[in-house]
């Protein structure tokens, strides 16, 4: 497949987003990096420039639909986007049985993870459809495959991303646009560091980014890793709900009881 020259990555200031930016950074590549922390975003941009890439940055909250559309259209006018990676996300976990995700907390997670992804995808896909070219990678999670009591809003938002990608894939394929849904397991980032449950098969951000890059270049429509954890998560929905809940509880994916 043709190598991408113009790439936009949201949530590029740290974690998996920064690792993806570095994986794609090379001479002849123009990167559009979006993040909220200007200091860390500038550090990501500097590291990418040191690898020979041309980099443009934007300090935008992906929940701001108008700001996202304005900047993405401006970038696309100058550098027709070949690949968009909608990576920005936020997490929420329940610390104990007395903890609860009220409306505001739930809305923050859903707005960031799901609507934030749409605010990146929709302005870009409209341009890609006219060009009959491009690929969009939606960063979901293995948590999309089965809800977990420890993170209801996060699981719901990631499941929504997967459902949306699955829904529009055949429509956009008619216009020559590829949709890839990425379902990572645990990747060592600030987000995973605060996760209170077990983190089996933990990958480094660089390993995850390089794997995603290879799979995207191969045109994969779904990229789930690590394979053993992905297999287990796909199996859970096939089990009786009570049994699946018990398994997740034994793996510490159930908020601890207050004492």
Rounded to 5 degrees, what are φ and ψ at 184? Answer: -75, 150
| Residue 259: pLDDT over 90 | no
Mean pLDDT for 81-86 is 98
d(CA 209, CA 206): 5
Mean residue pLDDT of the chain comes to: 95
Looking up residue 91, the CATH number of its domain turns out to be 3.40.50.720
Tally of domains within the chain = 1
As annotated, the active-site residues are 154
- Predicted pLDDT at 198: 81
Angle, in degrees to the nearest 10, between helices 15-24 and 205-217: 50
In a domain, 213, yes or no: yes
Residue with tokens 């980099």: 55
Residue 131 located in a structural domain: yes
Asked whether residue 1 carries a pLDDT value surpassing 50, the answer given is: no
Q: What is the largest CA-CA distance in the chain?
A: 60
Domain extent at residue 197: 6-250
Distance CA(76)–CA(32), nearest Å, equals: 10
Cα 123 to its chain centre, rounded Å, is 17
Q: Tell me the pLDDT band of 67, cut-offs 50, 70 and 90.
A: very high
C-alpha gyration radius of the chain: 18
Instruction: Identify whether 257 is part of a domain.
Output: no
Render pLDDT for 121-180 as a digit per residue (tens, 0 to 9): 999 999 999 999 999 999 999 999 999 999 999 999 999 999 999 999 999 999 999 999
Q: Is residue 239 part of a domain?
A: yes
Alpha helices in 101-226 (DSSP H): 103-110, 116-131, 152-173, 190-193, 205-217
Per-residue pLDDT, averaged over 195-210, amounts to 91
Q: Is residue 87 part of a domain?
A: yes
Q: What pLDDT score was predicted for residue 2?
A: 53
**Is residue 258 included in any domain, yes or no?**
no
**Residue 102: helix, strand or coil by DSSP?**
coil
| CA-to-CA separations, 75 to 30, 55, 102, 123, in angstroms, rounded | 10, 11, 37, 11
| pLDDT tens-digit series, residues 96-125 | 878 899 999 999 999 999 999 999 999 999
Helix, strand, or coil here: 232? helix
If one counts every other C-beta atom within 10 angstroms of the C-beta of residue 168, the result is 16
Per DSSP, the three-state class of 194 is: coil
pTM (two decimals) = 0.95
Residue 48 lies in a domain: yes
Crossing angle of the two packed helices 152-173 and 116-131, in degrees rounded to 10: 10
C-alpha–C-alpha distance, residues 183 and 181, integer Å: 6
Q: Are 158 and 143 in contact (CB under 8 A)?
A: yes
Per-residue pLDDT tens over the stretch 20-30: 999 999 999 99
Q: How far apart are CA 113 and CA 247, in angstroms?
A: 26
Residue 1 lies in a domain: no
């Amino acid at each position: 497949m043709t190598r991408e020259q113009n790439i936009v990555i949201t949530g590029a200031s740290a974690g998996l987003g920064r690792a993806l930016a570095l994986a794609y950074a090379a001479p002849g590549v123009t990167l559009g990096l979006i993040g909220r922390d200007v200091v860390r975003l500038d550090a990501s941009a500097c590291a990418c420039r040191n690898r020979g890439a041309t980099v443009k940055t934007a300090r935008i909250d992906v929940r701001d639909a108008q700001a996202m559309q304005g900047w993405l259209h401006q970038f696309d006018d100058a550098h027709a986007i070949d690949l968009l990676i909608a990576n920005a996300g936020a997490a929420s976990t329940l610390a104990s049985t007395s903890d609860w995700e009220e409306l505001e907390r739930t809305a923050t997670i859903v707005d960031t993870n799901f609507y934030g992804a749409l605010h990146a995808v929709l302005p870009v896909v409209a341009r890609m459809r006219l060009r009959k070219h491009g690929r969009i990678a939606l960063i979901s999670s293995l948590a999309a495959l089965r809800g977990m009591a420890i993170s209801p809003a996060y699981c719901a938002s990631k499941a929504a991303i997967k459902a949306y990608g699955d829904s529009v894939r055949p429509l956009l394929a008619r216009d020559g646009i590829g949709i890839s849904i990425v379902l990572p397991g645990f990747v060592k980032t600030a987000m995973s560091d605060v996760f209170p449950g077990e983190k089996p098969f933990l990958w480094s951000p660089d390993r995850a980014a390089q794997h995603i890059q290879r799979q995207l270049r191969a045109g994969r429509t779904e990229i789930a890793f690590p394979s053993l954890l992905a297999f287990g998560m796909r199996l859970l929905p096939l089990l009786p709900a009570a049994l699946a809940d018990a398994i997740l509880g034994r793996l510490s994916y159930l908020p601890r009881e207050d004492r």
